[in-house]
A and B are shown apart, each in its own frame.
Chain A
């Protein structure tokens, strides 16, 4: 396809979007030759300096893109699942990214992630204080294999690094957001555990393992994926603000990567300019 033809198609789409088509449409990540929606054009008009604007690839079946809005200096939309917004995508001329930089997959885009993630799995670290508790710990893991709390799998880990004190091992496990079962000689003999955690109310000694699981069940944290992804590039910044809970939190990051993309605003601006229109810098 020659550049002239591409230009003609984009201009035709632009004119169609500007007046012929009723409705705003969605800011779709189109390929060349497809119609540009009014939403896309206005997103570009809102932040004319931005090289890219957020756009939608194929959205998962149960997701809806809603609340599209554009005004001077910002434009964006929300993704909704079961009547709840879990992601807001927005473009602005600039932003102040935080978190960890990760590879964006694009040469001209930098990506930062500043998120908190509570996984579905419930982790319990068993810390035996000696040899006999160690044997008891292994037996316990075998007995409780496949156990679930609120349909969420419980993953047991035995920290039997006897070079470390029990206290150190407990602290390390708590740092990893694990629940801790300590088994000492008396527990090994009586078949009980001592439960510790960072959650207020989740603690106790001399507990039967089933009772310890019940205590955890009462305070089990909700699964979530919260935080912001930042994509910075020439003349703009796109943010994805996440607030996903439950099963969605497990997959939202991967799915968002697939569902959202970057519309090359600079191409649209240039095509419009070549056609005598001015929609951006």
Chain B
């Protein structure tokens, strides 16, 4: 972006009369109070922000890993280089061994405790448990992968190479072939993975990595002193393990996307400071022409499937817009959520997973616009913003500034009618929201507005439409009681529709926010609201929600098998085996 592209550098561009879609570069309009200044198309070949890059340190470690492989080849492929390495190793060892004395031996014996199985197991186990506790799954799997890759590779290569222990007086404990040094690799990968997974980047991590380097060096030196490793065994093991760990973290859990934080929140929420924050600002400016002044997470507790944000953008005066950030993390969450639902209840309805983040946001944007077309009030959509192609997208819409949840608002018959009209309109248009809960039904300047339409569907099953109605009636009933809501509902729905809605209602069909509100209502007022509605409506046969299908059976068996394998692995880890 050049200086002249920035809004501050532009010389009062003339407002254009045409609408937002025709707004091109270097033009400006005021739209709903928001100043929208020219958009910029990312030219072909220009990298999108938040690319996974190794950076200099990553490249260096990649080179060191390649160097380790070269040393392996040269160590054992050609007799001349083999002899050269062997002579150098023994020459160095002899110098070290000549310095042996009781004090140094005691010190070396103490240092090699760093490589003890129990200690490494403790460190690795504690790291993984911490990551599970803070639900930092990306780092959890990065640590696990680093451990598995390094351990499996060094053990395999040690067996393949089959180098004996040094031909010197060995005074330490050893096991198996010497090259590369499995204990040095084990300690290196453990400390490096801990530094990258547990310590926020910056000075603190650099200090921790430096300390780790000193510990690994001391450990390697102690093993040389005890005569159990050749110098090349220890050096190659350390280089390889650190290289693999750094490259793996840079590639699989890059700092820009997965920064180390110690907040125990919903895992799907992404950090929007740092590089991602900058990428969001730049993308909004380039793609929607909005100058973002402030980015704040908003209503995180009510959203697990995306990272909702409130953005302050430049305007006259400055305005707020609402944005939902979707990434592959959310895509995966959505997939797992659907797998979980299929296992628990069978295919209640469309549980087909999205194949990409792009498809996910395209679908939500489409449903949002379809709902508006059908007369279902919602937030004005401003468009989709691409942060990183195929990986991260932002959906931007108007911020409902003066709105409040229906359960907190003053409700009269008109509001009840409007709320029920929303459901009626969806029924008539062949739509379902599928997530009607207090947090998603807002009262905005007297109008009932539905938000968060991500779960919406076209031509839903009659069962799902019935559930939407019941859920809306429950929200209203929490404020004004069942009889009044029922009476108003009869103006737009047949008694049988209402009977069917509550025949379909179960604990699982009620969003968790509604369930807890119902429980509180029952506790405070002693009324079971759902039962009350059932008594008012004509009796209807209960609708089963358990649907069996080959997919459900397959997924259930798979989940059970996976669970058993996991239990077996935990038992193996506890009893001293396994990958830790």
Known: A15-B86, A19-B76, A19-B82. A72 touches B175 (CB 8 A): yes
A17: which B residues are within 8 A, CB to CB?
164
Known: A42-B177, A69-B176, A72-B174. A22 touches B162 (CB 8 A): yes
Taking residues whose C-beta sits less than 8 angstroms from the other chain, chain B's interface range is 20 to 34
Known: A15-B86, A18-B167, A70-B176. A23 touches B162 (CB 8 A): yes
B170: which A residues are within 8 A, CB to CB?
45, 48, 72
Complex alpha-carbon distance, A38 and B164, angstroms: 6
Complex alpha-carbon distance, A39 and B175, angstroms: 12
Task: Report the nearest B residue to A70, measured CB to CB.
Answer: B176
Known: A15-B86, A19-B82, A24-B177. A42 touches B165 (CB 8 A): yes
B173: which A residues are within 8 A, CB to CB?
71-72
- Report if B549 contacts A (CB, 8 A): no
CB pair B86 A19 closer than 8 Å: yes
- What's the nearest-Cβ distance from chain A to residue B156, in Å? 12
- Report if B160 contacts A (CB, 8 A): yes
- Report if B317 contacts A (CB, 8 A): no
CB pair A21 B162 closer than 8 Å: yes
CB pair A22 B164 closer than 8 Å: no
CB pair A22 B161 closer than 8 Å: yes
Complex alpha-carbon distance, A118 and B163, angstroms: 43
Task: Report the nearest A residue to B173, measured CB to CB.
Answer: A72
CB pair A20 B168 closer than 8 Å: no
Question: Which of A15, A19, A45 is most buried by chain B, counting CB atoms within 10 A of its CB?
Answer: A19
Q: A252-281: contact bitstring with B at CB < 8 Å (1 yes, 0 no)? A: 000000000000000000001000011100
B160: which A residues are within 8 A, CB to CB?
22-23
- Report if A25 contacts B (CB, 8 A): yes
A23: which B residues are within 8 A, CB to CB?
159-162
Q: Which residues of chain A (1-30) have a CB below 8 Å from chain B?
A: 14-15, 17-25
Chain B interface secondary structure, helix, strand, loop or mixed? loop
CB pair A38 B176 closer than 8 Å: no
CB pair A38 B162 closer than 8 Å: yes
Complex alpha-carbon distance, A138 and B162, angstroms: 65
- Report if A41 contacts B (CB, 8 A): yes
A14: which B residues are within 8 A, CB to CB?
167
Question: Which of B76, B82, B86, B167 is most buried by chain A, counting CB atoms within 10 A of its CB?
Answer: B167
CB pair B167 A38 closer than 8 Å: no
- Report if B85 contacts A (CB, 8 A): yes
A71: which B residues are within 8 A, CB to CB?
173-176
- What's the nearest-Cβ distance from chain A to residue B146, in Å? 26
A42: which B residues are within 8 A, CB to CB?
164-165, 177
A72: which B residues are within 8 A, CB to CB?
170, 172-175
Query: CB < 8 Å: which of A24, A45, A48, A277 contacts B162?
Result: A24
Known: A15-B86, A69-B176. A25 touches B167 (CB 8 A): no
- What's the nearest-Cβ distance from chain A to residue B275, in Å? 45
User: Apart from A18-B163, A38-B164, A72-B172, what are 11 other A-B pairs with CB-CB below 8 Å?
Assistant: A17-B164, A19-B76, A20-B76, A23-B160, A24-B162, A25-B162, A38-B177, A42-B177, A69-B176, A72-B173, A277-B168
24 A-B pairs (CB sep. < 8 Å) = A14-B167, A18-B163, A18-B164, A19-B85, A19-B86, A20-B79, A20-B82, A21-B162, A22-B162, A23-B159, A23-B161, A23-B162, A25-B162, A38-B162, A41-B164, A42-B164, A45-B165, A45-B170, A70-B175, A71-B173, A71-B175, A272-B167, A277-B168, A278-B167
